[in-house]
Structure 1
Amino acid sequence: MTPGARVQAAIDLLDSIVAAARDSGAAADTLIARYFAERRYAGSKDRRAVRELVYAAIRRLGERPESGRAAMLALAATDPELAALFDGVGHGPAAIGANEKAATPGTAPEWILAKLRESGLDGEELPALIDRAPLDVRLNWLRDAPDPIEGAEPIPGLPDALRLPSGTNIETLQAYQDGAIEVQDAGSQIVTLAAKAIPGMRVVDLCAGAGGKTLALAALMGNEGALLATDTDRARLSRLAPRAVRAGATIVETRLLNPGHETEILSDWSESADCVLIDAPCSGTGTWRRNPEARWRLTPDRIERLTRTQRHVLEIGAALVKPGGALVYIVCSLLDEEGAGQVSAFLADHAGWTADSLALPAGRAHGAGIRLTPAHDATDGFFVARLQRAC
C-alpha cells in the first residue's frame, strides 16, 4: 500500500468505527481485524501503519466525529507530512477543500468530562485517561517460573507483575503458552488483592467475564478451596475454562447465570462465601487507554442503566457472603456514581455492613474505598472497596 492508500484505509476504518460507536456495533479492534481479513494483500507494515493512524485519530478526538475523514483531518492539522498525503493521487484521499472542517480535538465528550470533574478528576488526570496503555502481565505461580523475558521490567509494589515492551506479541512467548504468565493490567492485579484471598477460602467471582481476576484469585488461593466464577454472558464465560486449563487453575467452577434468576441458581452458596468479588459492569472510563473509542459509545441513559445493574449485583453478592465475610466491589470507572457513590448508598441501606480498611500497593483513598488512576498510578482507572459483613 502507498502512504496515501494507508491514509484512505484509516479513513474507511474510522467511518466504520464511528458508525459502530453510534449504533452499539463491534469494537474498533474487531472492525480492524475484519477489514484486513478481507484484504490479504496488505502486509504487516501496512496493517501496523493503518492501525496506528486509526488510533491516533481516535485518541485526538473527544467528541464522536461526523466522519472518518473529519477525524483524519484533525490529525493532519498538526502533521504537515500527513496533510500532504491528501492529494487525490491513486488510492489516496482527495485533496483538502478550502472550507473543509476537521473534527475538534478533545479528551472526551464534554458531558462526561463534567462528570469526571465532579468526581474529583482534573488537570493532568484527564488527558492521561487516553494515553497509550502499557502491556502488563501477572506471573502465575501455579506454573513453574518462566525464563527471563527480554525487555520485561518489574512493577514497583507488585512482585508478581511485569511490564513488557510495547508491541510484544504475547501469544508467541513460551511463558504465555505454558501458562506461566497472564495478561492483566497492574491495576486489575492490585484491586484483586482487596479480596485478601488465601488457600482454603470459599470465594465467588460474581461477574467473572473471561476470568482474568478469577485466575488471579486461584493463584492467590494456591489451588486450595472453592472458587466459583459466574456471569450472564455465555460467550465471555466460555473463554474461562480453557484459560483455567492453561493456567493450571484446578479449583475454578464456572456457572452461567440467568438474569432475574441469579439468587435461585446460586442458592447453594447462600451466606456461605468468605469473599464475593464483584467486578461490576460499568462505563469503563478507566480503560479508555485500551479502548479509546469507548468515549464515543457512552450516553447518560447507558450510565443510568449501568448504575441500576451495579445495585442489582451488589444485592446478589451480599446475599452470598457469610457472617464475618467480605464483599469486594470493583469498577473500572472513575465516575463516583458508579464507584464511591454506589458503596455509600449500599452502606446506608444495609445495617451490619462496614467498609474495611485496605492497604494496597497503589491508589489513594476515595470515599469508602481506594481509587487508582492512569496519571497517579500508571495503571488503568479503578475504584475498589472492601465491605465487611458483621459476624
Structure 2
Amino acid sequence: MTPAARVQTAIEILDAIAAAAREGGAPADAIFAEAMRARRYAGSKDRRAIRGHVYDAIRLVRSAPVSGRAAMLALAEVQSELAPLFDGSAYGPAPIAPGEARAETGLAAPALLDLFDPLVGESEHDAMLARAPLDLRANRINAARDDLAALFPEGEAISGAPDGWRLPAETAAVQHPAYAEGRFEVQDAASQYASAALDAAPGQAIVDLCAGGGGKTLAIASLTGNAADILACDTNRARLQQLAPRAERAGVTRIATRLLNPGQEGAMLADWQGRADRVFVDAPCSGSGTWRRSPELRWRLTPARLDRHLADQAKLLDIGADLVAPDGKLLYAVCSIIAREGRAQVDDFLNRNPGWTADTGYLPVGLGRTAGAGFLLTPAHDRCDGFFLARLTSPC
C-alpha cells in the first residue's frame, strides 16, 4: 500500500469506530481487526502504519468526530508529514480544502472533564492518554516475581505489587511458553492492588460478584494459595466461560462459577446470603480510568450511559452487602476517575446502610490518595490505570 492509501484506510476505520462509539457498537480493536481481515493484501508494515494512524487520532481527538477524515485532518496538524498524503491519488484521500473542518482535540469534552474526581487535575491529563506498559502478575501457585525477572530481564518490579513485573508496551509476553504453563497473567498494577486490598485469606469463603473473564478471581486465588473457596459470578455467559480454562492453566482448583440472570441476582445467590467472608464488587463503569488502553471510551460515554452504570453500581453494592457475613468485608472497585462512580457512590451506600464502616490503610504506603471513604489511584500519581477502591466492613 502507498502511504496515502494507508491514510485513507485509517480514515475509513475511524469512520466505523466513531459510529460504533455513538451507537454502542463493537470496540475499536475489534473493528480494526475486522477491517484488516477485509484487506488481506495489506502487509505487516501497512497494518502497523494504519494502526498507528488510527490510534494516534483516537488519542488526539476528544470526542467522537463527525468523520474519520476530520480526525485525520486534526492528526495531520500535529504530524506534518501526513498533510502531503492528502493528494487525491487513486487510493489516497482527497486534497485538503481551505478551511476544512478538523475534529476538536484534547483529553475530553468539558462536560466530561467536570465529572472527574477533584483529585484529578490537569497534571494527570497527559498520563491518562499515554500508552500503558504491559504489567504481569506472577501466579504464586507455581511461580514468583523472581521467575518473571529471569524470563523478562528487560522489565522492572512494580512498586507495591509483590507479584508484579512491568514490561514495555507491546511486549509479546503471552507468546512465551511460561504463559501457557500458567506461571503468570497479564494484569495492570491497579487490578493487582485491588485484588490484594480484598484482604482474602486461606480458608475463607469469597464471592467475586462481577468476575467477568476472571482476572481478579485468579489473582485472589493466587494470593490465597489456592486455599480459599471462591464463587465467581457474572451475567455475561461468554465472559464467565473464559474463567474455567484460565483456572486450569493456572492450577486453580477451588473456583466455582455461577451465571446470574440480570434482575435475579439476589434470589440466585440466596444460599450465600450472610456467609461470605469477603465479597468483591468490581462493578461495571465508565472505564474512564482505562483510557490509556482504550482511548475510544472517551467517545462512548454519554449522560444516559453513565446513569445506567450508576444504577447498576448501587444495585450491585446492595446485593454484595447481603452476602457478607457479620464483620466480613466488601471491596468496591471501579476502573473510573469519575466522582459519582467512586466517592459519591460509596457515600450513598454508607448512608443507606447504617452500621457499615469504611476501612483505612489497606494500600501500600505512598499508593493512592484518599477520596471520601475510599482511595483513588491515577496514572500519573500511581503509574497504573485509574481506579477507585473502597473496603467496607459489615456490622457484627
TM superposition score category, shorter chain reference: over 0.9
Residues 43-100 of structure 1, C-alpha deviations (whole Å, 9 max, x = no match): 1221111111100000001122110000000000122211111111231111111121
* Cα displacement (A) at 1:123: 1.7
Q: Counterpart of 1:294 in structure 2: which amino acid?
A: L
Between 1:322-331 and 1:348-357, the stretch displaced more is 348-357
Q: In structure 2, what is the equivalent of residue 45 of structure 1?
A: 45
Q: In structure 2, what is the equivalent of residue 365 of structure 1?
A: 370
Q: In structure 1, what is the equivalent of residue 22 of structure 2?
A: 22
Q: Counterpart of 1:331 in structure 2: which amino acid?
A: V
- Match of residue 231, structure 1, among 231, 234, 243: 234
Q: In structure 1, what is the equivalent of residue 265 of structure 2?
A: 262
Q: In structure 1, what is the equivalent of residue 34 of structure 2?
A: 34
d(CA) in 1 for partners of 2:317, 2:334: 12
SS at match of 1:77: helix
SS at match of 1:14: helix
Residues 263-317 of structure 1, C-alpha deviations (whole Å, 9 max, x = no match): 1211111100000000001111101111111111111111111111111001100
* Cα displacement (A) at 1:349: 1.0
Q: In structure 2, what is the equivalent of residue 330 of structure 1?
A: 333
Q: In structure 1, what is the equivalent of residue 102 of structure 2?
A: 102
* Cα displacement (A) at 1:104: 1.6
d(CA) in 2 for partners of 1:80, 1:328: 48
TM-score, length basis structure 1: 0.97
Q: Does 1:274 align with 2:280?
A: no
- Match of residue 376, structure 1, among 372, 378, 381: 381
Q: Counterpart of 2:360 in structure 1: which amino acid?
A: S
Q: In structure 2, what is the equivalent of residue 141 of structure 1?
A: 140
Q: In structure 2, what is the equivalent of residue 121 of structure 1?
A: 120
Contact persistence 1:194–1:358 (CA under 8 A): no
Q: Counterpart of 1:200 in structure 2: which amino acid?
A: G
How many positions carry a matched residue from both structures? 390
Q: In structure 2, what is the equivalent of residue 192 of structure 1?
A: 195
Between 1:97-106 and 1:214-223, the stretch displaced more is 97-106
d(CA) in 2 for partners of 1:203, 1:305: 27
SS at match of 1:115: coil
SS at match of 1:296: helix
Residues 118-139 of structure 1, C-alpha deviations (whole Å, 9 max, x = no match): 6332221133221211111101
Q: In structure 2, what is the equivalent of residue 244 of structure 1?
A: 247
Q: Counterpart of 1:68 in structure 2: which amino acid?
A: G
Between 1:145-154 and 1:121-130, the stretch displaced more is 145-154
SS at match of 1:96: coil
Q: In structure 2, what is the equivalent of residue 388 of structure 1?
A: 393
Contact persistence 1:142–1:247 (CA under 8 A): yes
d(CA) in 2 for partners of 1:11, 1:52: 12
Q: In structure 1, what is the equivalent of residue 130 of structure 2?
A: 131
Please give the residue correspondences for 1:195-214 in structure 2 after superposition, counting only pairs within 5 Å. 195-214=198-217
SS at match of 2:191: helix
Q: Does 1:221 align with 2:224?
A: yes
Contact persistence 1:223–1:249 (CA under 8 A): yes
Contact persistence 2:131–2:292 (CA under 8 A): yes
Contact persistence 2:289–2:385 (CA under 8 A): yes
- Match of residue 289, structure 1, among 275, 289, 292: 292
Q: In structure 2, what is the equivalent of residue 85 of structure 1?
A: 85
Contact persistence 1:70–1:102 (CA under 8 A): yes
* Cα displacement (A) at 1:144: 3.6
d(CA) in 2 for partners of 1:213, 1:167: 22
d(CA) in 1 for partners of 2:271, 2:279: 14
d(CA) in 2 for partners of 1:190, 1:105: 32
d(CA) in 2 for partners of 1:239, 1:133: 24
d(CA) in 2 for partners of 1:158, 1:38: 42
d(CA) in 1 for partners of 2:6, 2:197: 46
Structure 1 residues 150 and 49, CA gap change in structure 2 (3 angstroms): farther
Over the matched positions of the two proteins, sequence identity in percent amounts to 54
Contact persistence 1:119–1:334 (CA under 8 A): no
d(CA) in 1 for partners of 2:302, 2:143: 46
Contact persistence 2:143–2:184 (CA under 8 A): no
SS at match of 1:286: helix
Q: In structure 1, what is the equivalent of residue 62 of structure 2?
A: 62
Q: Does 1:75 align with 2:70?
A: no
* Cα displacement (A) at 1:251: 0.9
RMSD: 1.2
Q: Does 1:317 align with 2:328?
A: no
d(CA) in 2 for partners of 1:49, 1:153: 29
d(CA) in 2 for partners of 1:204, 1:245: 19
Q: In structure 1, what is the equivalent of residue 181 of structure 2?
A: 178
Where does structure 2 lack aligned partners over 5 or more consecutive residues? none
* Cα displacement (A) at 1:150: 4.1
Residues 27-46 of structure 1, C-alpha deviations (whole Å, 9 max, x = no match): 00000111111222211221
